[in-house]
Structure 1
C-alpha cells in the first residue's frame, strides 16, 4: 500500500504543478488561435460546417466581450456574425447584428476614430440593401462608406459592390466604368481575393456588352480562385460562366457550370447560394410552367424579402432619433438640475449674506457696547483719579483755614461725594470673580438703617453660563435702579426676585417708594438702552404713592 502511494503522490504533484504552471499567455494564445480559425471559417469557408461553427463561436465570444465591457471586440464579433449570417442567407439576422454594432459605436466617446469598423458595417448594410432590391439606398450607403474609407482595400470592395448594383439594374455602362477603373489598379491590391473579384465582375459585364475580353477574364478569375481554394469565389465564377454561355444559347456548357455552382453551394452550406444555383438551372429548362413557377416564386420571395428585411438603416435612424430624444430629455434634466443647483446656490449665498449681516451687526453692537463700557470705566477712573482726588486735596487745605465759611466746605464735600459715587457706579467689574457674590454685594451696598434689601434665588442662578456682556448689562441696570431708588423713591423696602425659565433670565424689582411719573422716566432711558443692546426687554410700572416696579427679561 505504501509503495502505491509513493508512486501516486508524485504523479499527482507533477500533474498539479503542470496545471498551475501553464503560462497565462499560452492560454491567451489558444483563444487568439481559435478566433483566427473561426474568422477564416467565416471569410473563406471551405467546409459545410465552417459558417455555422463560426456563428456559434462568435456569438458566444460577443456575449463574453459585452459582459466584460470590451466594446471594440464586441463590434468586431458583430461584423463577422453579420457577414456569416448574410452568406448563410439569414439577411434579417445580418441586419440585426449591424444595427447592434452601430449602436455600440455610437455609445463610445471614441466613435470618430472607429473608421474601419464603420466602413465595414456600412458596406455590409449596402449588400443587404442589394439583396432587398433597394438599389437607391444601397448606392447611397456605399457612397457614405466611401466618404470615410481611408484604405485602398476598403475602397476596392465598396466600389465593386456599388458596381454590382448597376449590374443588377442592367446599367452595364456605369458598372463597366467602375470595374475597368478597379482593374487598372489591380497591381496595387494586397491580395488575390480583390484581384479575382474585380476580374470576374469585369468579365461578366464585358460579356453582357459583347466585349471579347469578357470570357478570358471570367476564366482567369475562376482559375485563380481554384488555386486559392476560394469556394465562394468559385461559386460566383461558375455562376457567371453559366450566364455567359446561357446568353449565347450554349446550354450544354451553361448546364455544366450551373451544376458546378450547385455542388459548391452544398459544400459552402449556404441556402442563398443553393437557391441561386437552382434558379439558374431552372432558367435553362424549356418547360414554360417551370418558368412561370419561377417567376411567381421570385415575385413572392422578393415581396417577402422586402417585408421581412425591414430597412436596417431606417431602424438605425429610428434608434438614433430615440437616442437624440433621450439625450434631449437628459439634457433638459441636466439643465433643470443646474438651474436648481444655481437657485440653491443663490439661496445659500443669500442666507450666508443675511447670516453674515446679522453676525457682523451683532459683533458691531457687541463692540459698541464693550466700547461704551470701556469708556464708562475710563471716565469713572478719570473722575476718581483726577476730579475726586483734586477735590479732596482742596477740601483738606481749606479745612486748615479758619477764615473759610463752613457752608462752602459742606458744599464742596457734597460735590466730592457725587464724584466718588459717579466713579464707583461706573468703575470696572471683575467678571472673573463669583458674579453672584459681586451682585449680592452691590445690592446689599444700598442697604442701611432706613432701607431693607431682600433678594430671592440670587445664589441659585447659573451665572457661569451667561456671557460677560449680559453680566455687565445686568450689573449696570440693577445698579442704576438701586441708585434711582436711593435718590428719588424714599423707599424703605426693596425686593429682587431672580428666576431661570428655559434659556431666559427673569429679574423682578419692586420697592415701596413714592413712585413716579413714568412719562418723565426720571432718567431711566439708559437702562432701556442697555437691556435692548443685549436683545432683552425691561418694563416699568409705577404711579405716584404706589411704589416702583421693573421687570427684566434677558
Structure 2
C-alpha cells in the first residue's frame, strides 16, 4: 500500500511485507536497462526472474539512485505489454500501479492518472473484480494523490472516501486517512487535519511498520506546528530519528522539510536553511523533480532578495495555470466510458423490455393525466354551475318578490288608502313592508354584465351617497374589468352591495372609502368606513358574504370593534 505525506511527494509503497530487496550496484543499472530495452521482447513472462521484478519494484517504491525511476518505468512498461499479450490481467494491473507511482514521483501527473484509469478499466472487465479489494484500494489511493497534486481537492477527498469504503485492513485505512488529512492541511483546515492525525497517532501502536509510525508522528508534528502547539517540535524530531534509524530517504526528506518550515515560522532562519539544504540533498538522491522543485522553492523563499520572491510568485502562477490547462481528468473519462460500455452490453437485452415498459408507463401516465384533468375540469364546472344556479335562484326570487309580493302589497296599500276607516299607522306599516320587499328585489335583481361593469359598479356605490354619507372610490376605473370572469364580477357586485347596505342600515357611518387594485390575476378591494363598528363574534349577516367569496376561492377578512369603524379586505 502506498501513501503520501505532502502535496507532491513523500511516497512509500508496500507490496511484499517482510521481504528484503536485493541491492544492485549502480553500474549494473545501465546493463540491466540496455538488456530490457533490446532483449525483453524476445522473452516470455515466465523468463523474468522474481529477483528482477523485486529489484525494479524497489527501484520505484524506494528510489536511491538517479536511474532508479526511469529504469523502473522502462521495465514495467515492457512487462505490462507482455502481461496483456498473455492475458495476465492481474499482473498487468500490478504493472500499471507501479508505473503510476513512478510517473507521479517524476512529476508526470497526467501519465500517472492515465495508468490508474487503465488499471481500473482492467479490473472492471474482470468477473472477479469484487475480490480485487487491495488493488482497488491502492489505485483509488494513488488517484487521490494525483488529484491532490493537481489541486483538485474535492475529487481527491471523494476518491479517498471510495477507498475507505472498501478498505478492510488497518494499515490501508491508516494510509488513506493520513492522505485525507493532508488534503485538509492543504486547504488550511488545520483542526480537521489535527483530528485525523491525533486519531492515527492513538492507533499507531497497533502497527508493525516503522515507516507508517514515523509518517503519522511527522504529520502530527507538522500540523501541531501550524496551530502553535507545544508538542510539535518533539514529534517532528521523533519522526526524524525513527527515519534515520530505518534509512528512509523519502521519509527523511519529509522530516527535514517539515523541520525547516517549523524553524522558519519561529524566525530561526539558520536552522530553517540548514534543514532545507538537507532536504534538497535528499531530493537529489531520490531523483524526483517534484522533490527538488519543492526544496529549491523553500530555500528561495528564505532569501531576502525581492526579485527572487517575484520570480517565485510568477513561476507559481504560471505552473498553476499550466496545471489547470493540462488537468484532463482521465478518471472522470473512465466513468463515462464505463457507463457507455454497460449501456452497450445490455442494450440488446433491454431494448424490447424497455419499449414495452415505456409504452405501458406512457399509457398509464396518459390515463392518469386524463383522470386527473377530468376530475378538476368536472369539479370546476360543477362549482361554477352551482354558483350560477345560486345567482339564478337569487334573481328569480327577487323577480318573484317584486312581481308578486311587492305588487300585491302595493295594491293592498292603494285599496286601504281609499278606505277612510283604516288607521294611518296600519298604512305606514304596510308601506314599510313594501319598501323592504322592493329593496330585496333590487339587491338580488339580475346584473347586465354586457355593459361596462366598472360604470355599473360605480353607479351602485355612489347610489349609497347622500347628504349624510360620503362615498369615495379609488382606482375603480383603472381595473381592466373585461379580463375578470363573469362569476367573479357578479360576486364582487353582490358583496359590495351587501357591505354598503349593511353600512347604511347599521353603521351610522358618514365616510366610506373603497380602494381597488389588480395584482396578477386577482382583484384586491379594501373597504373602510368610520361607523360605530360591530362585534365580529356575532357576524350578523356577514356569513353569506364570506361563503359567496369562498365559493370562488377568494378571501374576505373583516376587522371591526365597537365604536371603531369597519374594515373589509377582499381578494378574489
With the length of structure 2 as denominator, give the TM-score of the two structures: 0.52
Other-structure match for 2:141: 123
Other-structure match for 1:550: none
1:86 aligns with 2:108: no
Give, in angstroms, the shift of residue 48 of structure 1: 1.8
Pick the aligned partner of 2:218 from 193, 200, 222.
Answer: 200
- Residue pairs, 1:155-554, within 5 angstroms: 155-329=173-347, 331=349
**For 1:300 and 1:330, how far apart are their aligned partners in 2?**
50
What per-residue deviation string (whole Å, max 9, x for no partner) do you get for residues 141-199 of structure 1? Answer: 10111000000111011000000001111111010110010011111113111101111
Other-structure match for 1:150: 168
Count of aligned pairs between the two proteins: 310
For structure 2, the 5+ residue unaligned runs are 1-44, 355-572
Other-structure match for 1:70: 88
State the SS of the aligned residue for 1:249. Answer: coil
**For 1:334 and 1:245, how far apart are their aligned partners in 2?**
70
Q: Is the 8 A contact 1:125 1:312 kept in 2?
A: no
Pick the aligned partner of 2:132 from 106, 109, 114.
Answer: 114
Other-structure match for 1:61: 79
Give, in angstroms, the shift of residue 292 of structure 1: 2.0
**For 1:165 and 1:90, how far apart are their aligned partners in 2?**
20
State the SS of the aligned residue for 2:49. Answer: helix
**For 2:79 and 2:106, how far apart are their aligned partners in 1?**
20
For structure 1, the 5+ residue unaligned runs are 1-26, 337-554
Distance 1:41 1:272, change over 3 A: same
**For 1:275 and 1:57, how far apart are their aligned partners in 2?**
26
Distance 1:324 1:49, change over 3 A: same
What per-residue deviation string (whole Å, max 9, x for no partner) do you get for residues 354-405 of structure 1? Answer: xxxxxxxxxxxxxxxxxxxxxxxxxxxxxxxxxxxxxxxxxxxxxxxxxxxx
Which has the larger displacement, 147-156 or 312-321? 312-321
Distance 1:68 1:225, change over 3 A: same
**For 1:333 and 1:104, how far apart are their aligned partners in 2?**
27
**For 1:99 and 1:28, how far apart are their aligned partners in 2?**
27
Distance 1:190 1:211, change over 3 A: same
Give, in angstroms, the shift of residue 334 of structure 1: 10
State the SS of the aligned residue for 1:185. Answer: helix
Other-structure match for 2:56: 38
Give, in angstroms, the shift of residue 273 of structure 1: 0.5
**For 1:50 and 1:229, how far apart are their aligned partners in 2?**
17
Give, in angstroms, the shift of residue 310 of structure 1: 1.5
**For 1:320 and 1:278, how far apart are their aligned partners in 2?**
42
Distance 1:225 1:99, change over 3 A: same
State the SS of the aligned residue for 1:133. Answer: coil
**For 2:71 and 2:96, how far apart are their aligned partners in 1?**
15
Other-structure match for 1:135: 153
Distance 1:106 1:242, change over 3 A: same
What per-residue deviation string (whole Å, max 9, x for no partner) do you get for residues 406-463 of structure 1? Answer: xxxxxxxxxxxxxxxxxxxxxxxxxxxxxxxxxxxxxxxxxxxxxxxxxxxxxxxxxx
**For 2:279 and 2:74, how far apart are their aligned partners in 1?**
26
Q: Is the 8 A contact 1:46 1:229 kept in 2?
A: no
Bigger proportion of residues as helix: 1
What per-residue deviation string (whole Å, max 9, x for no partner) do you get for residues 40-73 of structure 1? Answer: 1111112222111111111111111101000001
Give, in angstroms, the shift of residue 266 of structure 1: 1.0
Give, in angstroms, the shift of residue 135 of structure 1: 1.1
Give, in angstroms, the shift of residue 325 of structure 1: 3.4
Note the aligned Cα RMSD (angstroms): 1.9
